[in-house]
Amino acid sequence: MTIIALDAMGSDEYPIPDVTGAVDAAREYGVEIILVGDEARLKPVLDGLNPGSLPIRIVHAPEMLTMEDKGVALALKARRPNAKNSMAVGIDLVKNGQAQAFVTAGNTGAALATAYFRLGLIEGVDLPALAPVFPTATGSCVVLDIGANPDVKPDNLRQFAIMGSIYAEKVRGIKNPKVGLLSNGEEEGKGNSLVREATPLLKGAGLNFFGNVEGKEVIGGSVDVAVTDGFTGNIMLKSSEAVAKLIVDKIKEAIKSGGPLALLGGILVKPALGKIKKLLDPAEEGAAPLLGVNGLVFIGHGRSDAFAIKNAIRVAKNAAEADVLSAMRAGIAERI
């Protein structure tokens, strides 16, 4: 049975969404869950959910990393050998082979630092990358990096492309995924110096390289993997989420203010709107993988509810069962 370590002190409203999502995942997906956090706070919540014989247990971690942990102080807490915070303890479970993956909805920077210091990087990888799945007109697209590294070098983009392609194939089930390089124009030679210098590297990486893509082509479904630096990727992610929310909100507003006929029409289109909302809801995926570290780590939104936590565990389970980490190690080694 796949074992997932969950940072039960991660979400903004911890531990209720975290523990509830874990119980739901154990029931629905047949995984064993290790809840990592302050046992005095977790146990009453867990007991109140009547888990029965579900394979869920608690590993005590009395401390936690928060948004206040930054800079040198964060680095020290992330790398200290005897660290007792929930992220360090959970990631150590993966490092020691006691869990196949770690999931957290906690501070992204803290999760990045802790994974980097405690797991290290896959040989041949210089930087890790956050790789969420974007909904597109034809399915989905893995976009990386979306915030781990604001500044990268051309060869980092090559590494991101290899990792993203392997993840799309092994976890998303996409055969020979098309890889695009995010730019401000489709033509080769467009883009900044980073994009122009990365192009020949991606061409020679043994991938199904599509070429340059604009943001509209990513959303339109032209590629299965889109590669960029973390600064650009983060802006794209947050802009996309904001636009999606705006569209849904404006449709609701127009229905409510449009009179009886609009309300009737709203009732008729409610099922269709529900499908659109589901497509655009980041909680459906739950968390993004941190690719490049030497272990499976998934990072979700701080505002994650139980539904998002449950789905994050599902995504982590799928990655573990697909043995994506071994595939990534091999794929990188072949191309060093």
Token look-up 């020679």 returns 204
Sheet holding 178-182, edge to edge: 133-135, 140-144, 225-227, 178-182, 208-213
pLDDT tens-digit readout, 193-249: 999 999 999 999 899 999 999 888 998 999 999 999 999 998 888 888 788 778 778
More confident residue, 263 or 322: 322
Closest of 55, 52, 58 to residue 93, by C-alpha:
58
pLDDT tens-digit readout, 132-185: 998 888 888 999 988 888 889 999 999 999 999 999 999 989 999 999 999 987
pTM above 0.85, yes or no: yes
Both tokens of residue 328? 């990534």
- Mean of the per-residue pLDDT values for the chain? 88
**Alpha carbon distance 70, 66 (integer Å):** 9
pLDDT tens-digit readout, 297-314: 999 988 899 999 999 999
Q: Identify the pLDDT of residue 202.
A: 93
Confidence of residue 317 (pLDDT cuts 50, 70, 90): very high
Contact 292, 121 (CB under 8 A): yes
pLDDT tens-digit readout, 16-29: 999 999 999 999 99
- State whether residue 178 is helix, strand or coil: strand
Q: Identify the pLDDT of residue 94.
A: 97
Which domains does the chain possess? Answer: 3-128+285-335 (3.40.718.10), 133-236 (no CATH)
Contacts of 321 (CB under 8 A, 6+ apart): 2
Contact 284, 64 (CB under 8 A): no
**Alpha carbon distance 76, 249 (integer Å):** 43
Q: Each residue of 61-89: b (16+ CB within 10 Å) or e?
A: bebbbeeebeeeebeebbeeeebebbbbb
DSSP string, 40-102: HHHHHHHHHT--TT-SEEEEE--B---TT--HHHHHHHHH-TT--BHHHHHHHHHHTTS-SEE
Neighbours of 322 (CB within 10 A): 17
Contact 130, 146 (CB under 8 A): yes
Q: Identify the pLDDT of residue 120.
A: 94
Residue 268 pLDDT exceeds 90: no
Contact 333, 124 (CB under 8 A): yes
Neighbours of 246 (CB within 10 A): 10
